[in-house]
Structure 1
Amino acid sequence: MNESLLTLEGVHTHIGAYHILHGVDLQVPRGQLTMLLGRNGAGKTTTLRTIMGLWKASRGRITLDGQDITAQPTPQIAGRGVAYVPENMGIFADLTVRENMLLAARSAKNADQIDEQRLKWIFSLFPAVEKFWNHPAGKLSGGQKQMLAVSRSIVEPRELLIIDEPSKGLAPAIINNMIEAFGELKRSGVTILLVEQNFNFAKRLGDTVAVMDNGQIVHAGGMEELAEDEELQHSLLGLAL
């Protein structure tokens, strides 16, 4: 296994009176795509939000590239090269696709200042982003919005992408486009942590996998190993398959 870019050690998270994460231990190897799987309510989204500082860990330690980020505010974590695409995608519906992209390109004051080569690369991954460049983002289909959300997260170079359920509700053709795009992102050297319910999507892309249940990691290892063991899949994921 490669050196870990992101590590969680004994992370607990409380939200109000509710104790959601119960000592999460997770390693995300540098340059690989790590799948975070589990039944609904297992704590996957809470884990992502805790990493990003949107919810604060009540106990434990989170390190990014060897630096402790447990108590850092979200903007500071993002400034370390971390991008987060939430399950609801976070698209600004009243803005155009171009304006959504510009908001994420912190080094650019207008669209003409966005890195041209990088934009061409993004358009090659997600042609719909170029096609609807001047259209209101709220008018896009669900799949097109997801493409925009991921494009926005990579408009500037990132060390780590954290993405919550990118295939949810998408047509098979769009899912295949997503798989190809994430494969290309992985080949470019980006480290990816991805929550997913679609096991076929997960096994086609994942290098490593962690499975959550009841706020804890109950299995961690290679994705290929889990993909080949139907009995293990059933015991860990049950009806989620």
Structure 2
Amino acid sequence: MSAATPHLLELKGVHTHIGAYHILHGVDLAVPKGQLTMLLGRNGAGKTTTLRTIMGLWQASQGSIHFAGRDITRLHTPQIAGLNIAYVPENMGIFADLTVRENMLLAARQARSAAQMDEARLQWIFGLFPAVQKFWNHPAGKLSGGQKQMLAVSRAIVEPRELLIVDEPSKGLAPAIINNMIDAFDQLKQSGVTILLVEQNIHFAKRLGDAVAVMDNGRVVHAGRMADLAADEALQQSLLGLSL
């Protein structure tokens, strides 16, 4: 790990078994501090399993995971979340019967009531995602897919986080909402949050990514600058079977 590009998160030789299935086959992944790293790959490449293994939802059977220089490989999920890491799963994990406000309050660990939530931070989030403010007192289950995704990300950042991990934030969203999401992640990055994103939308990846890692068959098969991958159509074709 060089002093010039300190890695906030680093996976070395990570293997993950789920039951009888060997999903990750020695994943090496470095997430530079203060940057947005894209994790790309075809369906079934192991991207979601990598995120779940980082968060301790599935245990690595081999290898190591370090966050801010600390070995977190054997920590449990609540301990990992307590290190200022937020995770937005692909299914978003919204509590449908609770209001938007109640969903946000659950994630604000320092607050016992909505009045105790950081008002300046809430206003910043409302600026990123106006729908969260608009539907503040509505049941979260009544929101559209795009609005639920905005709530899921808002909930993850209701308190300052050092690392934000998000699984396919643009999945199923309309282009206008995707652009809104891109702007929000860009602002988050500018605020100093390190972000690791799994994404299938190549436009999204190209607009936002600083670094990129491409997975195939449970391994990272390419790592480098997103701009270099975006500029190299032959490499895109060989790694992803598509052009950006």
TM-score category of the 2 structures, normalised to the smaller one: over 0.9
Partner of 1:46: 49
Instruction: Sort the Cα spacing of 1:240 and 1:39 in 2 relative to 1 into closer, same or farther, 3 A.
Output: farther
- Matched residue type, 1:176: N
Cα deviation code 1:207-236 (max 9, x no counterpart): 000000000000000000000001100110
Partner of 2:213: 210
1:27 paired residue among 26, 30, 35: 30
Partner of 2:71: 68
Instruction: Sort the Cα spacing of 1:75 and 1:240 in 2 relative to 1 into closer, same or farther, 3 A.
Output: farther
Deviation for aligned residue 1:140: 0.3
Q: Secondary structure at the match of 1:93?
A: coil
Q: Secondary structure at the match of 2:151?
A: helix
Partner of 2:59: 56
Measured on the aligned residues, the alpha-carbon RMSD in Å equals 0.9
**In 2: Cα distance, 1:44 partner to 1:211 partner:** 9
Whether 1:121 aligns to 2:121 is no
Deviation for aligned residue 1:173: 0.2
Q: Secondary structure at the match of 1:180?
A: helix
**In 2: Cα distance, 1:240 partner to 1:234 partner:** 6
Q: Which runs of 4+ in 1 moved over 6 A?
A: none
**In 2: Cα distance, 1:239 partner to 1:132 partner:** 38
Whether 1:190 aligns to 2:175 is no
Q: Secondary structure at the match of 1:94?
A: coil
1:148 paired residue among 137, 151, 154: 151
Partner of 1:137: 140
Contact 2:27 2:218 in 1 (8 A): yes
Contact 1:39 1:240 in 2 (8 A): no
Cα deviation code 1:33-68 (max 9, x no counterpart): 000000000000000000000000000000000000
Q: Secondary structure at the match of 1:55?
A: coil
**In 2: Cα distance, 1:79 partner to 1:59 partner:** 23
**In 2: Cα distance, 1:69 partner to 1:174 partner:** 35
Deviation for aligned residue 1:2: 2.1
TM-score normalised by the chain length of structure 1: 0.99
Whether 1:100 aligns to 2:103 is yes
Structure 1 portions without partners, runs of 5+: none
Contact 1:38 1:240 in 2 (8 A): no
Could you tell me the percent identity over the aligned residues? 80
Structure 2 portions without partners, runs of 5+: none
Deviation for aligned residue 1:131: 0.3
Partner of 1:181: 184
Contact 2:7 2:31 in 1 (8 A): yes
**In 2: Cα distance, 1:201 partner to 1:157 partner:** 24
Q: Secondary structure at the match of 2:39?
A: strand
Deviation for aligned residue 1:240: 8.6
Q: Secondary structure at the match of 2:241?
A: helix
Contact 2:233 2:243 in 1 (8 A): no
Give the number of equivalent residue pairs: 241
**In 1: Cα distance, 2:182 partner to 2:211 partner:** 16
2:236 paired residue among 227, 233, 237: 233
